[in-house]
Amino acid sequence: MLTERPRPRAGPFALPGEVTVTAVYGDLEHTLWTTAEAAEAAGVTREVIYQWKARGKLKPVNRRGWPRYRALDVLAVERETRERAHRTHAA
């Protein structure tokens, strides 16, 4: 599951430098995420998730309906991409 720390201001009311931290917790081995959830957890856009899927880096686990991705797979691909780019932090 994804959760955000409460913050006093959001959107246009946020002060410069305020950051929202997204925490990932739960049983990541069996957790399935939608494309939007996977993108949020990895700190990328949905288009990046689609690119990872097209390049064979990420494979949806269901065969019908909207794609669902294993949480561990998403986080592993994000980590590999970050390491390949020589970044030590999520984008």
Q: What is the pTM of this model?
A: 0.68
pLDDT for 29: 83
pLDDT for 8: 47
Structural domains of the chain, with CATH:
26-84 (1.10.1660.10)
Q: How many helices (H) and strands (E) does the chain have?
A: 3, 4
pLDDT for 9: 47
SS3 of residue 57 by DSSP: coil
Answer yes or no: are the C-beta atoms of 19 and 9 closer than 8 Å: no
Compute the residue count for the chain.
91
Q: Containing H/E element for 75?
A: helix 71-84
Q: In which residue ranges of the chain is pLDDT below 50? A: 7-14, 20-21
Nearest to 41 by CA among 67, 77, 10, 86: 77
pLDDT for 1: 54
- 3: β partners: 23
Answer yes or no: are the C-beta atoms of 75 and 24 closer than 8 Å: yes
Contacts with 48 (C-beta within 8 Å, 6 or more apart), sequence order = 39, 42
